[in-house]
């Protein structure tokens, strides 16, 4: 612990944002990270707790007190070594993780948590600037071949771990670029895709082969899942060619809203809009791209994906943006003694909300209205909890004008194709059935086929995907070699 009285002397400092009017003109990142001296003071606020709840609150178990202390002492190079020891991609989590570690921070019991995420962000950005992030190719090759199906954060983390331990890893991705939801779900203004490209280069130098535009199995007819595949491979081909296969295809099946009028034009899943915009930002051409210019936009779903639709619609120049959440409005402040160290239910206002958005809570959509086949509005009713169930409140029916409706109500499960192609058993929610407690975890019912990330656990945070990718890599390594030195 660097500064014994740091938490008493210094206030928490938030990262800065570019002004709204400036950031709405483009799709660039707008968070202004902490300067070195600011990060040092924020590091000094850490109490180096005997039981650091931050560490267990973090899904990858980042060794947070240690890197806080190293930043306080100005030893940034060792800080990135500590950070990388548990997290392959801190530049992803330092930007888009909601930071459950901060909810768990002991200071958060009755004060402002240590700004762990902003310190992480500062460490990794500095490490890249200084050239400290280097490829780490394996000294010895094992001669074993591993296929990873799905190039999202779980697949990338697993690929890096497996390549560094000496296996020949090939990542198969159905889209034209790897990154999964990071690439085609998270808007560029939240995370610039250069961060993924830089990691891909590093991993190529570590021996990972990336095969993009390749679909394993077949997508169901009419699927709205982003897919720019030009080549199809069968599960049999992969099983014959590789010693192990790890499925990390995500949970891409969006939750639908099957109410009257759902088939009207102008109603889209969030994951139709967001991938298109990111592709266009990077010089791609999208036929009949969804646009919000001058439109009254309704976003249904109050989570992060909904918030990303709000930010994207405002950058298009929407006439108005309204976001519906079916749950009641949570309190602005959580009841800390009741919730700490867990993730609290409280009102979260994102940077996209600050850019212009009306938020409606406890609203359920009953029907879409339209003219000439196009959506023109919605009929809603307010809802409340009664006996543990959401019920409609009589007399609260309302109509809203809408030219564009975006459905952002989460993801129900993986698109079954890949799992079906391999004959992988599913759990009750349609995810790949593979436990993490077995001697070798992440194993499916199919010989030498493993599953991890959202495809196994259901939709979750990028930091959980990285954790699963790292742990699944160890499981695959144990399976191939009999034992593993990769971290658990």
Q: How far is the CB of 108 from ligand SF4 (least distance, A)?
A: 7
Phi and psi torsions of 325, nearest 5°: -130, 130
Q: How far is the CB of 98 from ligand SF4 (least distance, A)?
A: 16
Whichever of 108 and 320 has its CB closer to ligand SF4, that residue is: 108
Instruction: Indicate the SS3 state at residue 185.
Output: coil
Whichever of 1 and 138 has its CB closer to ligand SF4, that residue is: 1
182 makes contact with ligand SF4 (CB under 6 A) = no
Whichever of 80 and 310 has its CB closer to ligand SF4, that residue is: 80
Stretch that binds ligand SF4, among 48-56, 121-129, 311-319, 415-423 (CB under 6 A): 48-56
Q: Say how far apart CA 308 and CA 112 lie, in whole Å.
A: 26
Q: Determine which residue in the list 29, 31, 40, 53 makes contact with ligand SF4, applying CB under 6 A.
A: 53
Q: How far is the CB of 288 from ligand SF4 (least distance, A)?
A: 48
Q: Are 94 and 71 in contact (CB under 8 A)?
A: no
The phi-psi region of residue 261 (left if phi > 0; otherwise alpha if psi is between -120 and 50; otherwise beta) is left
Instruction: Indicate the SS3 state at residue 449.
Output: strand
Q: How far is the CB of 39 from ligand SF4 (least distance, A)?
A: 14
- Contacts of 348-351 with C-beta under 8 Å, sequence gap 24+, read 350/304, 350/307, 350/310, 350/311, 351/17, 351/30, 351/31, 351/311
52 makes contact with ligand SF4 (CB under 6 A) = yes
Q: How far is the CB of 13 from ligand SF4 (least distance, A)?
A: 15
* Binding positions for ligand SF4, 63-92, rule CB under 6 A: 64-65, 68
Phi and psi torsions of 203, nearest 5°: -70, -35
Q: How far is the CB of 129 from ligand SF4 (least distance, A)?
A: 24
106 makes contact with ligand SF4 (CB under 6 A) = yes
Stretch that binds ligand SF4, among 41-49, 343-351, 363-371, 473-481 (CB under 6 A): 41-49
- Please give the C-alpha separations between residue 275 and each of 188, 192, 265, in angstroms, as whole numbers: 10, 14, 19
Q: Is the dihedral of CA 223, 226, 230, 231 positive or negative?
A: negative
Interface with ligand SF4 (CB under 6 A): 46-49, 52-54, 64-65, 68, 105-107, 114, 116
């Amino acid at each position: 612990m660097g500064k014994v009285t740091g938490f008493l002397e210094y206030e928490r400092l938030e990262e800065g944002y570019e002004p709204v009017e400036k950031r709405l003109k483009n799709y660039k990142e707008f968070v202004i990270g902490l300067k070195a001296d600011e990060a040092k003071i924020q590091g000094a606020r850490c109490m180096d707790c005997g039981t650091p709840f931050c560490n267990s609150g973090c899904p990858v178990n980042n060794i947070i007190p240690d890197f806080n202390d190293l930043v306080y002492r100005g030893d940034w190079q060792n800080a990135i070594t500590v950070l990388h020891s548990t997290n392959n991609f801190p530049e992803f989590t330092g930007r888009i993780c909601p930071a459950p570690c901060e909810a768990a921070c002991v200071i958060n019991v009755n004060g402002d948590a240590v700004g762990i995420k902003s310190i992480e962000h500062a460490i990794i950005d500095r490490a890249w600037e200084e050239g400290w992030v280097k490829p780490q190719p394996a000294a010895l090759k094992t001669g074993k071949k591993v296929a990873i199906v799905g190039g999202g954060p779980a697949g990338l983390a697993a690929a890096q771990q497996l390549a560094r331990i000496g296996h020949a890893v090939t990542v198969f991705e159905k889209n034209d670029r790897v990154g999964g939801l990071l690439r085609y779900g998270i808007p560029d203004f939240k995370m610039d895709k250069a961060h993924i490209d830089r990691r891909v280069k590093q991993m190529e130098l570590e021996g990972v082969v990336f095969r993009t535009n390749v679909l394993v199995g077949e997508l169901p007819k009419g699927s709205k899942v982003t897919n720019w595949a030009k080549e199809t491979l069968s599960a049999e081909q992969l099983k014959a060619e590789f010693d192990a296969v790890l499925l990390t295809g995500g949970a891409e099946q969006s939750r639908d809203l099957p109410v009257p009028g759902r088939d009207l034009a102008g109603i889209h899943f969030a994951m139709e809009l967001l991938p298109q915009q990111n592709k266009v930002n990077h010089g791609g051409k999208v036929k009949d791209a969804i646009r919000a210019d001058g439109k009254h936009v309704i976003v249904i779903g109050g989570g992060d994906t909904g918030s990303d639709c709000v930010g994207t619609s405002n950058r298009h120049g929407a006439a108005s943006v309204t976001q519906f959440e079916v749950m009641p409005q949570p309190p602005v402040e959580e009841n800390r003694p009741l919730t700490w160290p867990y993730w609290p239910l409280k009102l979260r206002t994102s940077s996209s909300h600050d850019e212009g958005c009306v938020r409606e809570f406890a609203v359920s959509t009953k029907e879409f209205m339209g003219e000439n086949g196009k959506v023109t509005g919605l009929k809603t009713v307010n809802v409340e909890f009664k006996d543990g169930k959401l019920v409609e409140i009589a007399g609260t029916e309302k109509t809203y004008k809408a030219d564009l409706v975006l459905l952002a109500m989460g993801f129900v499960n993986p698109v079954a194709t890949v799992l079906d192609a391999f004959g992988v058993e599913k759990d009750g929610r349609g995810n790949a059935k593979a436990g993490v407690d077995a001697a070798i975890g992440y194993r499916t019912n199919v010989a030498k086929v493993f599953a991890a990330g959202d495809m196994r656990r259901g939709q979750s945070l990028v930091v959980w995907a990285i954790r699963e990718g790292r742990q699944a890599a160890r499981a695959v390594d144990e399976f191939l070699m009999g034992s593993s030195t990769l971290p658990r």
